[in-house]
Amino acid sequence: MTDVEYLAKTRAMLDHIEAKIDEWLDSDVIDIDSHRSGGLLELSLPGGSKIILNTQAPLQELWMAARAGGFHFRYVDGLWLDTKTGAEFLSMLAAQASAQGGKPLNFSV
């Protein structure tokens, strides 16, 4: 994947996550604050915990830091997959956000 393709894919993913959070805020599902600075998206969940999503352009990875640990994802066959377990990014984000937010959340497209 070229650097331009990588940047477009990560930008689209972060845009999708922000749109989902805005949708939840509008529907009173959960109060998650988000702050984005370039390729970094910080999610502040109820209770004060955070999930940090960060693009890593030199490695062409997408990183997630959550209470359960740090995870690295690479784009493979149309999906962002965890480099250790092969788990899909949005599923892992949903699991971490659900655990930290105290209610089931689904980030799928």
Per-domain residue ranges of the chain: 3-101
Beta bridge partners of 36: 41
Give the mean model confidence (pLDDT) for residues 89-96. Answer: 96
Beta bridge partners of 79: 76
Neighbours of 101 (CB within 10 A): 20
Q: Which strands sit side by side in the sheet containing 61-66, from one edge to the other?
A: 33-37, 40-44, 50-56, 61-66, 69-76, 79-82
Residue 2 has pLDDT above 80, yes or no: yes
Strand (E) or helix (H) holding 100:
helix 89-101
CATH assignment of 3-101?
A: 3.30.920.10
pLDDT in tens, 29-39: 898 999 999 99
Tell me the C-alpha distance between 30 and 101, whole Å: 8
Which pLDDT score is estimated for 28? 84
Indicate the pTM of the whole model: 0.92
Which pLDDT score is estimated for 108? 84
Tell me the C-alpha distance between 39 and 49, whole Å: 20
Cβ proximity of 107 and 97 under 8 Å? yes
